[in-house]
Structure 1
């Protein structure tokens, strides 16, 4: 994903600030791709909307490392003679330090005081560009990410394999449900057309979509769901998306349809 912060969506339903759990949720802000080592003036704009809930959709920090772009030389990171990976993971200590830098951003610190912060991850905060289930450090990365989100120590997310979660806001008749997927922890290799979510997460998602209904359901995915960009740009270049796992994407669409979740946003 891009190396600059992107405010993906602001969902505005009315005009109140952060509310109690049973109050109407009127403002939800979404963001991703926040380089902890760069200035982040965007937080001033986010705070100006007074969101009650802020949702990270991935690349909440950039936790991996990137070698220079080199086609020739001793270490060739791209091209037909590539002999070393361009991206490589950080140590646990370094990843923790980068999360600390992110939390210390003044604008983000102010937002955390006013809004409930939720989130899932993408590849760079998971630990490695384009990585999936093969990443050896994913258990440590999960713990550090949940620490960053102030996840309670007794949370189910700290006991499960992956960071997927769901939240229900608002009173009956005005409910908003936020479902956050984990597209990394169980994902098969990119060219496999295997699984993105893995069986346990699929079973959980089915229960969530067939469970208590809401007036609005928001499904957060760190990679594109609808886009077919990879199908039109390959083989020149590819981007990560559900379109690269067509059977998984069709399964997602069928599940949403069967659940009669007509107000789903993803």
Structure 2
């Protein structure tokens, strides 16, 4: 099936190349997916592409929109062993600079002008005004059109995108099924246009790791890990001797900690294990050390599932000991500026967890919406339609200003709230929503 789909996509690409007057020959090769802009620092950028067949990928980069005096970066030979995908590293860039780029396959142009562009990160540690989007739940089927991508691109001006899991619904650890699901999701309307110019980072949750509520006991979990590494351009993946998709990166004086809540996870309903873990001992130690060492004024802590205290069994609610160990670590070391973000739930909501930590869960950008139950920690609740969220962070002030914006696809901004620094750090309580009736059962 994937071969037939790629053949059709290839035919479409071939016709487009002919119509646009590109150089055409018997050995024509094209991008079936991408380019997708991954990690961007103050001096480097990662660019992911997938070709129609084996080819040497190169990228030309310039501060000029017509690519005058362009630098050329040679990437890997895209091969069948990685589904003809690969990542090219762009280096020797300067901070806060807009760059334009073009991709070539075997020395021939693979994209046409006007060329896409991106802006490098500011100098590490520098105060900044940063806007980042975060999303989850791309769609139930691999070819779900997920109209949220085009809407996100039109309504917001963001510096980066965080994809917090259920980025596809392959629901299997099988490598070829994983590849097929990624391929279908990347064809979603507006996704390519948005991610070719927006630094994009990803972690997974259950549906893009395996079946619903899957965990680290899943047989064949090396398959989804391999597929994940084949299709994203994060700065790193786990640790050299501890596989996974967790990583950290910085943007100015904001640090991001993205966790892997599946690869080392114990079963949700396991009750006879006092050491029950979601992250695994190594990842937990990595996270605690990274938080303690962070000098950033704002620290974004992300997970695929919700942090709140009243969630489903497939959330941190089933792992209270480990969650509290993280929270107690933050409290005991007086680490300020920590905000929590999450996905998974097919609705969008905000909580003040344990009257201390502000959490926003974002979704779904493409999947169906679920009813949400008002819980004692909840102070925002949106469950009709498709949603995505944007955090606006300004660290140029004596006390950083953080504003959450909740968007409904096709309808625009639904709610906006600026938090005080005391609310972010648990010194000021946020009034919860009044209790409501339980969610209605779906017919």
Considering the TM-score relative to the shorter chain, is it more than 0.5? yes
2:155 counterpart of 1:40 = no
Partner of 1:132: 215
1:138-184 CA-to-partner distances (Å, cap 9, x unmatched) read 212112112221347xx4548441111111001xxxx1111101111
Q: Tell me the SS of whatever aligns to 1:105.
A: coil
- Could you tell me how far 1:136 is from its partner in structure 2? 1.5
After TM superposition, list the pairs within 5 Å mapping 1:80-99 onto structure 2: 89=172, 91-99=174-182
Q: Which has the higher helix share?
A: 1
Further displaced range: 132-141 or 23-32: 23-32
Kindly indicate whether residue 157 of structure 2 is the aligned counterpart of residue 50 of structure 1: yes
Give structure 2 stretches of 5+ with no counterpart: 1-97, 99-117, 341-443
1:253 aligned to 2:327? yes
* Pairwise CA distance, 1:25: 5.5
Q: Which residue of 2 aligns with 1:62?
A: 169
Q: Could you tell me which residue of structure 2 aligns to residue 184 of structure 1?
A: 262
- Choose 1 or 2 for highest CA Rg: 2
Normalising by structure 2, report the TM-score.
0.45
2:299 is aligned, of 177, 198, 217, to: 217
- TM-superposed CA distance for 1:257, in Å, is 1.5
**Which residue is equivalent to 2:251?**
169
Q: Indicate the residue corresponding to 2:194 in structure 1.
A: 111
Contact 1:127–1:137 (8 Å) recurs in 2: no
Number of residue-to-residue matches in the alignment: 213
- Given the alignment, which residue of 31, 42, 48 partners 2:135? 31
Alignment of 1:222-237 (within 5 A): 222-230=304-312
Residue segments in structure 1 that go unaligned for 5+ positions in a row = 1-16, 65-88, 231-238
CA 1:249–1:158: 2 relative to 1, 3 Å? closer
Structure 1 residues 156 and 184: CA distance shift in structure 2, 3 A: closer
Matched, 1:22 2:125: no
Q: Could you say which structure has the higher strand fraction?
A: 2
1:64-90 Cα distance to aligned partner (Å, 9 max, x none): 1xxxxxxxxxxxxxxxxxxxxxxxx25
